Structure 1
């Protein structure tokens, strides 16, 4: 039976593809306060601004490609069972060939009904006011906004519990509940943390690779081959 590698990925994994990280140091996202464009209140107050914001993100996603880190993660499936749990809303893991991807914070290429959260649709073009589900409810981005539950978190916890190896790439591990997933692996599970500025507490099971996602994955593949 193949060993099960669980990979937690964040914005740093897609940054090298040209996908902009969630927000700058000043707390702004593309010049917007995040609460204006990533909260239920922001959507209520100015839905056109929010829809336009995600339309721009969706258009930009079409201009980028998976980087080598995405591709190397997909290659791991040759020798391992691999589950990717990502905080990213892009589809770059899937485009690189990864077959088992859990999106904690939603997906940019999907929308859902404001009247029925389980009514989720694939959506690759602009989303505008007046675009509704079959029952007449406005559609919204299928994104987990601030103040909303993270519906996939319980599934992610169970996945981490079953991991033989945990890999963390390109995430500060500061955003909860995603940051807490590291606590759900078995006590002796080896953990590899790839990030140019890793923020971790001392843990004998954590092997830090202080590099970018692409360079760190090259190192990790070598380590796994020799371990």
Structure 2
């Protein structure tokens, strides 16, 4: 049977401000990319999301980022590799404390925002992220875009490299994500997102921004938790995947 993991970015709040409906999304997804305080999130939020995820049997992933709270981690930054490696390890370690306190552990690592896009092509920054993961736990899987430098470097370092796709983001003809600043970068029509999810899970193909058919291998499918109607959309995606014969389960 075809199977796929369903992940979402969670814990993206700070103090009294909350962006994602963590509790309801955790009733749908199988993996939670938890913000670790650098682009969003704080200690109390991290603890709460870890407890909720553990209670529901959802895998916890550390969503690491450039240090950019004001820009939500979506602004391009140049961070020296040694510094970036230390900051990645720091974020993983912080989340691990709350995961273990909740009776579980951090199961994988996924970069966020500008860092995620940077390590698709930048081998030096990709190497820094991998060095940070190795500092924290030399067995942690790394989640990223297929054919990215990040997954290439991770695999060479002996880390499990897990390919993911995005149901609600537009793709270029080269299989990369259309930059958020461009029109149509985020797919908002619910039925389109659902159909793209099924196509990605069953055939590994998505229609690009220009209309071309692009091969995108994926063991995990991401839905953004900060889009309007994210919970209902996630429920529709999961229900239709299962109706089409796809088993929705965590990749680890």
Q: Please confirm whether the aligned pair reaches a TM-score higher than 0.5, indicating the same fold.
A: no
Q: TM-score, normalised by structure 2?
A: 0.32
Q: TM-score, normalised by structure 1?
A: 0.35
> Which one has the bigger helix percentage?
2
| Higher radius of gyration, 1 or 2 | 1
